[in-house]
Amino acid sequence: MKRYAYLLFIFGMHLYGFGQGNLQFNQVKIISNIDPPQTVPVGKVWKIESVFSDAASDTYPVDGSGSTQNFFASCGMGAFYFHYYGRYLAINSIPVSFGMHSAGEQMTNLPIWVPAGATICTCTSPTYCARGYSAIEFNIVP
Amino acid sequence: MKFGLFLFLCLTGAVYGQDTTFVKSAYAGSSLTVPQKVTWHIEKAFINNGDGYNLKINPEVFKPIYKAGEKIQIPFYTAEMELLNNQEGVFYFLYIKESFVP
Protein backbone atom coordinates (compact mmCIF):
# COMPACT_ATOMS: atom_id res chain seq x y z
CA MET A 1 0.00 0.00 0.00
CA LYS A 2 2.86 2.35 0.80
CA ARG A 3 4.24 1.74 -2.67
CA TYR A 4 1.01 2.91 -4.30
CA ALA A 5 0.94 5.98 -2.09
CA TYR A 6 4.51 6.74 -3.15
CA LEU A 7 3.64 6.36 -6.83
CA LEU A 8 0.62 8.62 -6.44
CA PHE A 9 2.80 11.20 -4.70
CA ILE A 10 5.34 11.20 -7.54
CA PHE A 11 2.56 11.49 -10.11
CA GLY A 12 0.95 14.34 -8.17
CA MET A 13 4.23 16.26 -7.89
CA HIS A 14 4.71 15.85 -11.64
CA LEU A 15 1.34 17.47 -12.33
CA TYR A 16 2.06 20.20 -9.76
CA GLY A 17 5.12 21.22 -11.76
CA PHE A 18 2.93 21.95 -14.75
CA GLY A 19 0.34 23.80 -12.71
CA GLN A 20 2.45 26.86 -11.87
CA GLY A 21 1.41 30.29 -13.11
CA ASN A 22 3.32 31.62 -16.10
CA LEU A 23 3.86 35.30 -16.82
CA GLN A 24 5.23 37.24 -19.76
CA PHE A 25 6.45 40.83 -19.63
CA ASN A 26 4.11 43.19 -21.47
CA GLN A 27 4.83 46.83 -20.57
CA VAL A 28 5.85 49.29 -17.90
CA LYS A 29 3.28 51.81 -16.74
CA ILE A 30 3.68 55.09 -14.91
CA ILE A 31 0.44 56.35 -13.42
CA SER A 32 0.10 59.88 -12.10
CA ASN A 33 -2.23 60.81 -9.26
CA ILE A 34 -4.27 62.91 -11.67
CA ASP A 35 -4.96 59.89 -13.90
CA PRO A 36 -8.34 58.17 -13.58
CA PRO A 37 -8.71 54.95 -11.56
CA GLN A 38 -6.90 52.04 -13.21
CA THR A 39 -8.43 48.58 -13.50
CA VAL A 40 -6.05 45.71 -14.24
CA PRO A 41 -7.26 44.15 -17.54
CA VAL A 42 -8.43 40.57 -17.87
CA GLY A 43 -5.54 38.18 -18.50
CA LYS A 44 -2.98 40.59 -16.99
CA VAL A 45 -1.38 41.10 -13.64
CA TRP A 46 0.35 44.24 -12.38
CA LYS A 47 3.36 44.41 -10.14
CA ILE A 48 3.59 47.81 -8.42
CA GLU A 49 7.31 48.41 -8.07
CA SER A 50 7.47 51.96 -6.83
CA VAL A 51 5.23 54.63 -5.32
CA PHE A 52 6.18 58.28 -5.80
CA SER A 53 6.30 60.92 -3.11
CA ASP A 54 5.09 64.43 -3.23
CA ALA A 55 7.65 67.02 -2.23
CA ALA A 56 6.24 67.43 1.26
CA SER A 57 6.20 63.75 2.17
CA ASP A 58 9.82 63.29 1.09
CA THR A 59 10.94 65.07 4.20
CA TYR A 60 8.44 63.93 6.82
CA PRO A 61 7.74 60.47 8.19
CA VAL A 62 4.13 59.33 8.43
CA ASP A 63 2.52 61.36 11.16
CA GLY A 64 0.53 59.76 13.97
CA SER A 65 -2.13 62.39 13.49
CA GLY A 66 -4.31 63.05 10.48
CA SER A 67 -7.91 63.68 9.59
CA THR A 68 -11.00 61.95 8.28
CA GLN A 69 -11.22 62.48 4.54
CA ASN A 70 -13.14 61.19 1.56
CA PHE A 71 -10.25 60.90 -0.90
CA PHE A 72 -11.40 57.80 -2.76
CA ALA A 73 -15.12 58.54 -3.11
CA SER A 74 -14.85 58.10 -6.90
CA CYS A 75 -13.86 54.48 -6.25
CA GLY A 76 -16.79 53.84 -3.98
CA MET A 77 -14.87 54.13 -0.71
CA GLY A 78 -16.32 55.96 2.25
CA ALA A 79 -14.67 58.39 4.64
CA PHE A 80 -11.52 57.17 6.38
CA TYR A 81 -9.01 58.51 8.90
CA PHE A 82 -5.83 59.23 6.91
CA HIS A 83 -2.46 59.98 8.47
CA TYR A 84 -0.37 62.93 7.36
CA TYR A 85 2.36 62.13 4.82
CA GLY A 86 0.88 58.68 4.32
CA ARG A 87 1.39 58.58 0.51
CA TYR A 88 -1.90 56.74 0.06
CA LEU A 89 -3.23 54.70 -2.82
CA ALA A 90 -6.40 52.63 -2.65
CA ILE A 91 -6.48 49.11 -4.04
CA ASN A 92 -9.98 47.65 -4.27
CA SER A 93 -11.17 50.38 -1.91
CA ILE A 94 -8.53 49.47 0.67
CA PRO A 95 -6.42 52.51 1.59
CA VAL A 96 -2.73 51.57 1.58
CA SER A 97 0.00 53.83 2.95
CA PHE A 98 3.40 53.86 1.25
CA GLY A 99 4.83 56.58 3.49
CA MET A 100 7.98 56.22 5.52
CA HIS A 101 7.62 55.23 9.14
CA SER A 102 9.48 57.38 11.64
CA ALA A 103 11.79 54.38 12.20
CA GLY A 104 12.81 54.66 8.54
CA GLU A 105 10.91 51.73 7.08
CA GLN A 106 8.25 51.89 4.43
CA MET A 107 4.74 51.41 5.84
CA THR A 108 3.87 48.90 3.07
CA ASN A 109 6.53 46.76 1.48
CA LEU A 110 6.91 46.76 -2.30
CA PRO A 111 6.37 45.16 -4.72
CA ILE A 112 2.63 44.59 -4.60
CA TRP A 113 0.95 42.18 -7.00
CA VAL A 114 -2.45 43.33 -8.23
CA PRO A 115 -4.70 40.77 -9.94
CA ALA A 116 -6.90 41.20 -12.99
CA GLY A 117 -10.09 43.08 -12.24
CA ALA A 118 -8.67 44.95 -9.27
CA THR A 119 -8.92 48.76 -9.28
CA ILE A 120 -6.17 51.12 -8.13
CA CYS A 121 -7.22 54.63 -7.19
CA THR A 122 -5.10 57.69 -6.53
CA CYS A 123 -5.80 60.94 -4.74
CA THR A 124 -4.30 64.40 -5.17
CA SER A 125 -3.79 65.90 -1.73
CA PRO A 126 -0.08 66.74 -1.46
CA THR A 127 -0.18 66.15 2.28
CA TYR A 128 -1.71 62.70 2.21
CA CYS A 129 -1.53 61.12 -1.24
CA ALA A 130 1.07 59.42 -3.38
CA ARG A 131 2.16 61.41 -6.41
CA GLY A 132 1.80 58.31 -8.59
CA TYR A 133 3.26 54.86 -9.03
CA SER A 134 5.03 52.63 -11.52
CA ALA A 135 3.91 49.13 -12.38
CA ILE A 136 5.00 46.31 -14.64
CA GLU A 137 2.21 44.65 -16.59
CA PHE A 138 2.52 40.92 -17.25
CA ASN A 139 0.42 38.71 -19.49
CA ILE A 140 -0.77 35.48 -17.93
CA VAL A 141 0.33 32.84 -20.45
CA PRO A 142 -0.17 29.05 -20.67
CA MET B 1 -4.96 -3.91 -6.07
CA LYS B 2 -2.72 -5.20 -8.85
CA PHE B 3 -5.36 -4.28 -11.40
CA GLY B 4 -5.42 -0.77 -9.96
CA LEU B 5 -1.68 -0.43 -10.41
CA PHE B 6 -1.93 -1.82 -13.94
CA LEU B 7 -4.67 0.69 -14.79
CA PHE B 8 -2.63 3.54 -13.29
CA LEU B 9 0.45 2.65 -15.31
CA CYS B 10 -1.59 2.26 -18.50
CA LEU B 11 -3.21 5.66 -18.05
CA THR B 12 0.05 7.47 -17.31
CA GLY B 13 1.64 5.70 -20.27
CA ALA B 14 -1.19 6.75 -22.53
CA VAL B 15 -0.82 10.35 -21.45
CA TYR B 16 2.96 10.66 -21.48
CA GLY B 17 4.33 7.69 -23.40
CA GLN B 18 3.77 9.03 -26.91
CA ASP B 19 4.46 12.65 -26.16
CA THR B 20 7.82 13.85 -27.44
CA THR B 21 7.50 17.20 -25.70
CA PHE B 22 8.81 17.38 -22.17
CA VAL B 23 10.08 19.88 -19.63
CA LYS B 24 13.60 20.06 -18.28
CA SER B 25 14.82 22.37 -15.55
CA ALA B 26 18.37 23.65 -15.27
CA TYR B 27 20.16 26.34 -13.28
CA ALA B 28 21.39 29.49 -15.00
CA GLY B 29 24.95 28.99 -16.18
CA SER B 30 24.68 25.21 -16.33
CA SER B 31 24.48 23.06 -19.46
CA LEU B 32 22.48 20.18 -20.91
CA THR B 33 23.62 17.63 -23.47
CA VAL B 34 21.30 16.29 -26.14
CA PRO B 35 21.17 12.46 -26.06
CA GLN B 36 22.24 10.37 -29.04
CA LYS B 37 19.85 9.73 -31.96
CA VAL B 38 17.57 12.67 -31.19
CA THR B 39 17.35 16.39 -31.85
CA TRP B 40 15.91 18.95 -29.47
CA HIS B 41 13.89 22.03 -30.29
CA ILE B 42 13.23 24.39 -27.39
CA GLU B 43 9.64 25.49 -27.91
CA LYS B 44 9.44 27.90 -25.00
CA ALA B 45 11.44 28.75 -21.92
CA PHE B 46 10.71 30.25 -18.52
CA ILE B 47 12.80 31.43 -15.62
CA ASN B 48 11.97 31.13 -11.94
CA ASN B 49 13.81 32.25 -8.82
CA GLY B 50 11.76 30.27 -6.35
CA ASP B 51 8.74 32.58 -6.37
CA GLY B 52 5.36 31.15 -7.20
CA TYR B 53 5.41 32.00 -10.87
CA ASN B 54 7.45 31.34 -14.02
CA LEU B 55 8.49 34.20 -16.28
CA LYS B 56 8.50 33.58 -20.01
CA ILE B 57 11.72 34.58 -21.75
CA ASN B 58 12.60 35.33 -25.35
CA PRO B 59 13.24 31.89 -26.94
CA GLU B 60 15.81 33.42 -29.32
CA VAL B 61 18.47 33.06 -26.65
CA PHE B 62 18.53 29.41 -27.81
CA LYS B 63 19.33 27.95 -31.22
CA PRO B 64 16.37 26.65 -33.27
CA ILE B 65 17.64 23.05 -33.25
CA TYR B 66 20.19 21.20 -31.13
CA LYS B 67 21.66 18.04 -32.61
CA ALA B 68 22.50 14.76 -30.88
CA GLY B 69 25.47 15.14 -28.56
CA GLU B 70 25.37 18.92 -28.71
CA LYS B 71 25.70 20.90 -25.50
CA ILE B 72 23.06 23.51 -24.65
CA GLN B 73 24.55 26.31 -22.63
CA ILE B 74 21.92 27.74 -20.28
CA PRO B 75 22.47 31.52 -20.17
CA PHE B 76 23.78 32.87 -16.91
CA TYR B 77 21.87 36.07 -17.56
CA THR B 78 18.86 37.11 -19.62
CA ALA B 79 17.22 40.51 -19.73
CA GLU B 80 14.04 39.10 -18.19
CA MET B 81 15.92 38.44 -14.97
CA GLU B 82 15.68 42.18 -14.31
CA LEU B 83 11.97 41.58 -13.69
CA LEU B 84 12.69 39.23 -10.79
CA ASN B 85 13.09 40.57 -7.26
CA ASN B 86 16.01 38.30 -6.60
CA GLN B 87 18.42 37.25 -9.33
CA GLU B 88 20.16 34.55 -7.31
CA GLY B 89 19.37 30.88 -7.73
CA VAL B 90 17.51 31.41 -11.00
CA PHE B 91 16.61 28.27 -12.86
CA TYR B 92 15.09 27.65 -16.26
CA PHE B 93 12.16 25.52 -17.37
CA LEU B 94 12.71 24.43 -20.96
CA TYR B 95 9.82 23.00 -22.98
CA ILE B 96 11.65 20.69 -25.35
CA LYS B 97 10.33 18.90 -28.41
CA GLU B 98 12.38 15.79 -29.04
CA SER B 99 12.56 14.24 -32.52
CA PHE B 100 14.15 10.89 -33.27
CA VAL B 101 16.83 10.78 -35.95
CA PRO B 102 16.75 7.49 -37.92
Structural domains of chain A ordered from first start: 21-141 (2.60.120)
Q: Which chain B residues touch A9 with a CB distance below 8 Å?
A: none
- Percent with pLDDT over 70 in chain B: 81
Nearest chain B alpha carbon to A1: B1
Whether the CB of A24 is below 8 Å from some CB of chain B: the reply is yes
Number of helices and strands (H, E) in chain A?
2, 10
DSSP, residue by residue, B34-79: PPTTEEEEEEEEEEESSSSEEEE--GGGS-S-B-TTPEEEPPS--G
pTM across the whole model: 0.79
Mean pLDDT of chain B: 87
| Amino acid A115: pLDDT | 97
Whether the CB of A141 is below 8 Å from some CB of chain B: the reply is yes
| A28-47 residues touching B, CB cutoff 8 A | none
Partner residues linked to A57 by β-bridges = none
pLDDT per residue as tens digits for the range B37-66? 999 999 999 999 988 899 999 989 999 999
0.95 surpassed by complex ipTM = no
| Amino acid A53: pLDDT | 84
Strand order across the beta sheet in which A38-39 lies: A38-39, A119-121, A88-91, A94-97
- Mutation for testing the B interface, residue in A2, A11, A15, A25 having most B CBs under 10 Å: A25
The arithmetic mean of pLDDT across residues B22-36, rounded, is: 96
Domain segments of chain B as ranges: 20-100
Neighbours of A58 (CB within 10 A): 12
Whole-number Å distance between alpha carbons of A46 and A114: 5
| Amino acid B11: pLDDT | 53
Low-confidence stretches of chain A (pLDDT beneath 70): 1-20, 55-59
- Mutation for testing the B interface, residue in A1, A8, A9, A24 having most B CBs under 10 Å: A24
Measuring CA to CA, which residue among B73, B77, B63, B59 is closest to residue B26?
A: B73
- SS3 at position A72: coil
Q: Which chain A residues touch B84 with a CB distance below 8 Å?
A: none
| Amino acid A17: pLDDT | 45
Greater model confidence, B7 or B44? B44
